[in-house]
Structure 1
Amino acid sequence: MRLAALLACLAMPALAQPDAHIVVLGEVHDNADAHLGQAAMLDALQPTAVVFEMLSPEDARRIDAERHLAEVIWDAGNWPDYALYAPIFDASGSARIIGAAAPRESVRSVYGDGPAALFGPDAARFGLEQPLPDDQQTAREALQFAAHCEAMPLEMMPGMVDVQRYRDAVFARAALEALETFGPPVAVIAGNGHARTDWGVPAMIAKAAPGVTTHAIAFTEEQTDIPYDETRVVPPAERDDPCSALKTN
């Protein structure tokens, strides 16, 4: 049943190669079927470069130079097992591997200093120097509160939103640099939250480089009204309640 559902998802006509400079492939991080969907897209795209949310620039350079080190380097991080992501690396072929993860120690400074200070001179190009509209700020804080199991203090949510904005801008900048260096198409592997077209990586790219076209495909576990260019529903992964450790009796 699970395999049949996945094959039906991947067989849909819209899986054909999007005509875009940068294709953002969203995921549920621990869902193997989402990664198979991303791999199928990479096989169709044959991208010049693949930008990973999960890899630091240095780790990506090491993998790019010696692909056989991918599993060892990957498993030294804090992401789900390499076995889930192996199809993505296999489907990447000769594409350059680009890392866009910022050090956690650096990202913490965003809480106090804001996203523009850490991002650097290009912050205005990506809109990081401007506050969000009130309605978007409120909506994003609510999403962050829910995503963290409603277990973190509400006063921390503005900082969480700042971190998300910072990371979206970093991924967008990495994709644009890859596009300039290697040409189209460039693929981005990131969580579904970063793939949304209203305020995620595609929106950041549109602001920073209006002439660059994007196409965002989310591999989700249920239908959603979150804006993407395409949504592909895959079978839910089996997992424990991610909030159980934070719940109290």
Structure 2
Amino acid sequence: MRVSPFKTAAPFCAALLGCAGAAHADLVTLDDLPTAPPAQILILGEIHDNPNHHETQAALVQRWHPTALVFEMLTPAQAAAIGDTPRDNAARMAEMTGWATSGWPDYALYHPIFAASGTAEVYGAALDRVDVRRAMTDGAGAVFGPDAALYGLASPLPAPEQALRETDQMTAHCNALPPEMLPGMVAAQRLRDAAFARTALQALEKTGGPVVVITGSGHADRARGIPAALGIAAPAITAFSLGQVEGDPGPDAPFDAWIVTAPTPRDDPCAAFTKTP
């Protein structure tokens, strides 16, 4: 496992599995996860179109009773529009959030999370697309604002780490990106991770926690994602990262725990990069 810069709630094996002879204690099932929230901020990763991942997130929200839910998928305005809408009314929730035009997978996949949220305050962490695009040219720190240094955005990444992240971006985009785009893609990712962490801390300060963050598993990366930004900005805050993946992530999986599920049926995601005009 990569070394995490943030404070964990307790030694992972002891806290979750009791160290009962578990040689691979970080690979878990839903039943292995504790009944009480293991940290102040709980980052629940997903593959966005996998319904099993959302069912697990909903089950954990119901189990851990967070005071706040932070969604990667919602802007602050969309979250505010929920108001007093009954969370179990799927059609009304989809309408109030404008989900159909958001570009995310169908609202039905996410409805179990909202339905399980009770009275938790809902926060939207999504940035305006214009700002994300601007980070690609101007840098993450310039877009983030005056607290950029607090979240580690005022300085460039070390060259080896920058190179690794650019390679990951190229792989994630089917090796189809022009190389000159890669630094900007890394900057945009750094901006979004820091913004999600900032929203989670704001939610924790206002509601007292625990706070659940619903996000892609890439953002749950302990070394690079939301947890890393939290570790820089608020090292005293405890955080827990759950990755949900569709295959063995290997011995260096960058999560506190991960769940492996069967792949959901989907079209080849690389097909869009190979289509001819």
Q: Work out whether the TM-score is over 0.5.
A: yes
- Pick from 66, 71, 95 the counterpart of residue 52 of structure 1: 71
Displacement of 1:248: 5.4
Displacement of 1:178: 0.3
1:71 aligns with 2:94: yes
- Distance in 1, matches of 2:147 and 2:100, equals 32
- Pick from 263, 267, 270 the counterpart of residue 243 of structure 1: 270
Displacement of 1:19: 2.1
What is the SS of the residue equivalent to 1:24?
A: strand
- Pick from 131, 134, 144 the counterpart of residue 106 of structure 1: 131
Amino acid at match of 1:226: A
Change (3 A) 1:21 1:146: same
- Distance in 2, matches of 1:94 and 1:106, equals 31
1:122 aligns with 2:141: no
Displacement of 1:10: 2.2
Amino acid at match of 2:123: I
Paired residues for 1:159-178 under 5 Å: 159-178=184-203
1:3 aligns with none
TM-score normalised by the chain length of structure 2: 0.84
Percent of aligned positions that are identical = 48
- Pick from 99, 121, 141 the counterpart of residue 166 of structure 2: 141
Q: Is the 8 A contact 1:64 1:97 kept in 2?
A: no
- Pick from 18, 29, 38 the counterpart of residue 9 of structure 1: 29
List alignment gaps of at least 5 residues for structure 2. 1-27
- Pick from 206, 225, 239 the counterpart of residue 181 of structure 1: 206
- Pick from 29, 34, 39 the counterpart of residue 53 of structure 2: 34
List alignment gaps of at least 5 residues for structure 1. 1-7
- Pick from 88, 98, 112 the counterpart of residue 113 of structure 2: 88
Amino acid at match of 1:29: H
Displacement of 1:24: 0.2
- Distance in 2, matches of 1:156 and 1:226, equals 26
Question: If each structure's helix is expressed as a fraction of its own residues, which one has the higher value?
Answer: 1
1:201 aligns with 226
Displacement of 1:184: 1.3
- Distance in 2, matches of 1:49 and 1:56, equals 15
- Distance in 1, matches of 2:37 and 2:159, equals 34
2:239 aligns with 214
Displacement of 1:15: 4.7
TM-score normalised by the chain length of structure 1: 0.93
Tell me the matched-pair count: 241
Change (3 A) 1:220 1:37: same
What is the SS of the residue equivalent to 2:122?
A: strand
Q: Is the 8 A contact 2:37 2:210 kept in 1?
A: no
- Distance in 1, matches of 2:196 and 2:231, equals 13
1:233 aligns with 2:260: yes
Q: Is the 8 A contact 1:34 1:219 kept in 2?
A: yes
